[in-house]
Structure 1
Amino acid sequence: MLEEFVSLGKWWLPNKPEVVVPGKLSFSPESGATLELIGSLYSSQFEEIGQVEDIAFPNEIFSIEGESNLTSAVRLDFIKPEEIIILGLLDNNEEITLYRCSGRIKNFEFVKGRPTLSFNVEYVFRKIHFEYEQDIKLKSISVQYSHLEKWVGKSGIEVFVSQEENKIWMSYQPPSNIHLTKIGSLDLYITFSPVCVHPFYSYFGAIYYNANIEQKTYLTIQNPCNQPIDDCVNLLIKFSDFLSFAMTKATSVIKVTGKADVIHEKPVKQANGDFTLEKEARETQVIIIFGLWNFTKSSEINLSPDKMLFLFSDVENNLGSVFEAWINKREEYEPVFDLLMATIYASSLYLHYKFLNIIQALEAYHTSKYEGSYQDRKIYKKGLYKKFIEVLRDFPSESDDQENGISDEFRNALKGKIKDQTRFTLETRLKELLSDVFSLLPNNFIGSVKDRELFSRRASETRNALTHHDKEKRQQAARGRELFQLFHTLTVILQICLLRELNLTDESIKILVERNRAYQNEWRPPSN
């Protein structure tokens, strides 16, 4: 995963390389990168923010006879600089580029006049200096995610064991790159770590006393048109969400690297014996660091393929179109996906919060896809709603009937409540969704039609009790094992709905659900 670090170095602005300030660069995946300078890159720590007119000084301070003691002054505030690029050199001589930096004075000692200037940094590029924003041209970006190797399930490592000869042969040939899709001008591939042997060792015939072969799997985004880094990062985050949905557990970004062409000057001997400097582009690897809102230490989770919702092999022939559908549906059903992803990434949430997230996501999905109403709104307004309004209008007020009358505030509140009463209740929405996906669930996953109705009622009652905090209803709400089973079953229903949105066939969805061990804890009606 992206690791926290703190590094000391010296820092300067590209247009003022003579002003070099010591400082500390720190990074955490949750909050991003911060640069704290011991001193300032600027000649002044203040900026003018306006004019103050007619300031009155005491007579003993401003006491020239015949002169007014009123004057004007400039209003000052601490600077809040915005820098596109700050360059740095760490103590180990590593080059650093900080991109999009928002600064502020952290503290200021008026006696010494020494400020501490702090910058929040959006992107950190390690091992390279980009002098100008237009120089930031990344030919490709490769992302390593936790558990991606297990999800893809392709290996180029082979091991041969001969017990008779007491020998072990190991070989590695990277699998072929897999093209997924093209989104805009960005090409997406699944790639694998190449074979790398240091030329020094191979040339001098080094003797090996240990061997370790590790294949790494990446999502690689090829960027031939030099699209902005934001486009690439947004895409890799969307793929991270997609993987987390496929795995049913949060994946995390372990490492992000890019490739850029850097111009170098080299001396070239001419025919007359003189040397001239000629420029050449050399491909350089760049380490890219940025903060992630959905960071999780998921690499520490023991996740096996048999517990994943679906694997690469299940969608190998159409993964590109499935991922494109994910991007489109993520926008179409944004609240649904937000609630689901929040539940996946926040694995430590209390069970009743997870339950509320998933049931609300299902309600939002049904509302967005089907709307759902008991009666056409125009018919309702002309008929029953009109009668309700007439009854409310004619019902006596408190001033006329102190025992049975109602206040104007209550009358208006009732008008608001009955206005949209044609919409389906949560219980009805759950029944419809369950009826729609029931054929894809394993046999006896819930049970009979009566059990389906009981499930929808129990889930709806529990949501209402947990949301509205009615003490009596809260005592009757599902809890413990029953609450877990409700949450589990609702999650399965939501996953099936979204798999359909990703254009997987009903036949393939049914196979995925039945084979997954996580679905063995299906809902059962209470024994009472």
Structure 2
Amino acid sequence: MERTGDLMKKEIQGQWWVPGQTEQIEEKGMLVYNNDGTANLTLHNDLYDGDLRMTHKIILGTSSTGEKFTLLNCQSFLDTVRLTDRMSVYKVELVFKGQHFSNVSQMNFTEYRFTFQSLNQWVNEAKFIHENDYDNRINTISYEDFEEIKLANVDGVRLSIYFAESIKERYRDEISITLNSYIRLKSEKDEINYSRFTEYYLPLLQNFFSLLMGSETYPMNIQARFLRGVTVSVSYVSEKKTEKIHTEDMTIPLKEIRVEINELLQNWFKKSDKLQPIYNLYFSTIYNDRLNLENRFLNMVQALESYHRRTYGKGETIMPKDEYEQLKSKLNDFLQAELSSDLDSYNAMRNKLSHLNETTLRHRLLYLIKTHQDIIAFLMEIDEKLIGDIVVTRNYFTHWDDKYKQKALSENDLVVATQKLEFILELCLFYEMGLSNEKIKRAFDGSIKWFQFYVLQNI
């Protein structure tokens, strides 16, 4: 069990300079953290050696107490010249506390530690025990020192959950004890650059936990460690805060998948190249609560269409390929004869022939429904008429052609159809993870998200 505290003070006095200058210029100044994870650096002079610089990729600093700081992506937004000195203020995108880095390529670590909003509830391991000793007038509150939970080993990168206690004495008669769950990502091979961590590992894990929780979640409290044990704190703060999700409201909490969690994470990472466009469409939708209904619907349709194409074959056709090639040759001869005097029209029609035999959206949706019929029949009603309505609605929202307007879904029917498409996509993602049909059924049947949908479609 580890203990956590405040990772960073709000204000840091120190000396600051830019690495790599011909003549190192150090200036006194104050770094002040903002609530969004950024910071402001106020200097009494500017850090330049001849040319006025509005931006610095990196600024280094040492606090008055000797702590090392690396400030990344610094943009000047205030520059004031006074009688006695000059004041410059920089907006700092990210602060690394604990080490100096001259460039981004040096930001390589063997281990990262971080958490996600509602991860405590997803893990749901912490249990406090309250005991009264009335004879000696002693009340005791205790909790178990939990072992680290091994999650997976993904190509030499070990993922696990560890626990850390946070104890705060507010007043003489009040104390707060919190047991927090953290993810540990540790490389058994090469060090992992911070950019690789934030662009690959962190988004995939965020999406993984968001899907299992049944609601969006965001990373918090990132720390990184070198092989030699030096810890670097990162001022990363998620752009959005979410309400705490209770364990019983989640789609799949940890207790439901403790046995297969390694396989699920392995598959999630292994298939990410193939499924990345689907991940992007789905998660960009659920993370954006301001997205209008029409675009939400289109994203779900496009994600399912792309999923079918990437998973069940790009080469699927309406007619057998050899038969269609014969038909296409005859159609091309006909067009050539009829449009011999209009070369532009002929070329346009000939190009359409190349795509005429491709599998339609209707076929792709029906195929997915048939493939997962056991689960879908348990969850919802969806027939060929609704599939036809979805195709017409997609065409209307894509082309805004009035001939589709009357038949397109609208209002509550559109909301229900969009939610059904979202559930179908989710069960496809669970299936790709490696979850059994029975666990997928149980996951949907017990989640608050499914209950809300059940109420919605019965309004």
TM-score normalised by length of structure 1: 0.72
Q: Which residue of 2 aligns with 1:95?
A: 67
SS at match of 1:333: helix
Q: Which residue of 2 aligns with 1:377?
A: 321
- Aligned-pair distance for 1:178? 0.7
Q: Which residue of 2 aligns with 1:273?
A: none
- Aligned-pair distance for 1:170? 1.6
> What's the CA shift string for 1:372-408, capped at 9, x where partnerless?
3112334312x221222122212157xx7xxxxxx54
Q: Check the 8 A contact 1:139/1:226 in 2, yes or no.
A: yes
What value does the CA root-mean-square deviation take over the aligned residues? Answer: 4.1
Q: Which residue of 1 aligns with 2:203?
A: 237
Q: How many residues align?
A: 444
Q: Which residue of 1 aligns with 2:16?
A: 11
Whether 1:436 and 2:371 are equivalent positions in the alignment is yes
Distance 1:28 1:364 in 2: 40
Distance 1:191 1:384 in 2: 63
Distance 1:414 1:34 in 2: 60
Q: Which residue of 2 aligns with 1:307?
A: 249
Question: Residue 192 of structure 1: which of 163, 183, 190 is its match?
Answer: 163
Question: Residue 130 of structure 1: which of 100, 124, 127 is its match?
Answer: 100
The aligned amino acid for 2:323 is I
Whether 1:220 and 2:184 are equivalent positions in the alignment is yes
Distance 1:374 1:353 in 2: 28
Would you tell me which structure has more helix in proportion to its own residues? 2
Q: Which residue of 2 aligns with 1:173?
A: 144
Distance 1:441 1:284 in 2: 51
Whether 1:387 and 2:360 are equivalent positions in the alignment is no
- Percent of paired sites with the same residue: 21
- Aligned-pair distance for 1:426? 0.9
Q: Which residue of 2 aligns with 1:252?
A: 218
Question: Residue 112 of structure 2: which of 141, 161, 185 is its match?
Answer: 141
Whether 1:452 and 2:387 are equivalent positions in the alignment is no
Q: 1:100 to 1:526 in 2, by over 3 A?
A: closer
Q: 1:334 to 1:224 in 2, by over 3 A?
A: closer
> What's the CA shift string for 1:69-106, capped at 9, x where partnerless?
xxxxxxxxx787654xx32245x757342265477898
- Aligned-pair distance for 1:215? 0.8
Distance 1:94 1:347 in 2: 44
Whether 1:45 and 2:11 are equivalent positions in the alignment is no
Q: Check the 8 A contact 1:179/1:188 in 2, yes or no.
A: yes
For residues 21-420 of structure 1, the aligned pairs below 5 Å read: 21-22=27-28, 25=31, 39-45=45-51, 82-83=57-58, 86-89=59-62, 93=65, 95-98=67-70, 101=73, 121=93, 123-126=94-97, 128-130=98-100, 138=109, 140-160=111-131, 169-194=140-165, 209-223=173-187, 227-230=191-194, 231-233=196-198, 234-259=200-225, 285-290=231-236, 295-298=239-242, 301-370=243-312, 371=314, 372-381=316-325, 383-396=326-339, 407-420=342-355
Q: 1:415 to 1:180 in 2, by over 3 A?
A: same
Q: 1:15 to 1:516 in 2, by over 3 A?
A: closer
Between 354-363 and 94-103, the greater mean CA deviation after superposition: 94-103
Q: Which residue of 2 aligns with 1:64?
A: none
Q: Which residue of 2 aligns with 1:20?
A: 26
Q: Which residue of 2 aligns with 1:519?
A: 450
- Aligned-pair distance for 1:522? 5.1
Q: 1:376 to 1:482 in 2, by over 3 A?
A: same
Between 32-41 and 473-482, the greater mean CA deviation after superposition: 32-41
Higher Rg of the two aligned structures: 1
Q: Check the 8 A contact 1:351/1:484 in 2, yes or no.
A: yes
Distance 1:28 1:98 in 2: 16
- Aligned-pair distance for 1:184? 3.8
- Aligned-pair distance for 1:216? 0.4
> What's the CA shift string for 1:350-384, capped at 9, x where partnerless?
22221111111000001112233112334312x22
Gaps of 5+ in 2: 1-6
SS at match of 2:151: strand
Q: Check the 8 A contact 1:130/1:136 in 2, yes or no.
A: no
SS at match of 1:19: coil
Distance 2:324 2:311 in 1: 22
Q: 1:80 to 1:151 in 2, by over 3 A?
A: closer
Distance 1:21 1:114 in 2: 11
Q: Check the 8 A contact 1:177/1:192 in 2, yes or no.
A: yes
- Aligned-pair distance for 1:433? 0.7
Gaps of 5+ in 1: 47-77, 199-206, 263-282, 401-406
Distance 1:387 1:190 in 2: 64
Distance 1:118 1:522 in 2: 51
Q: Which residue of 2 aligns with 1:56?
A: none
Q: Check the 8 A contact 1:441/1:514 in 2, yes or no.
A: no
Q: 1:344 to 1:161 in 2, by over 3 A?
A: farther
Q: 1:471 to 1:131 in 2, by over 3 A?
A: closer
Distance 2:89 2:166 in 1: 45
TM-score normalised by length of structure 2: 0.82
Between 316-325 and 331-340, the greater mean CA deviation after superposition: 316-325
Q: Which residue of 2 aligns with 1:70?
A: none
Q: 1:249 to 1:517 in 2, by over 3 A?
A: closer
Distance 2:215 2:250 in 1: 8
- Aligned-pair distance for 1:10? 4.0
Distance 2:10 2:295 in 1: 33
The aligned amino acid for 1:385 is K
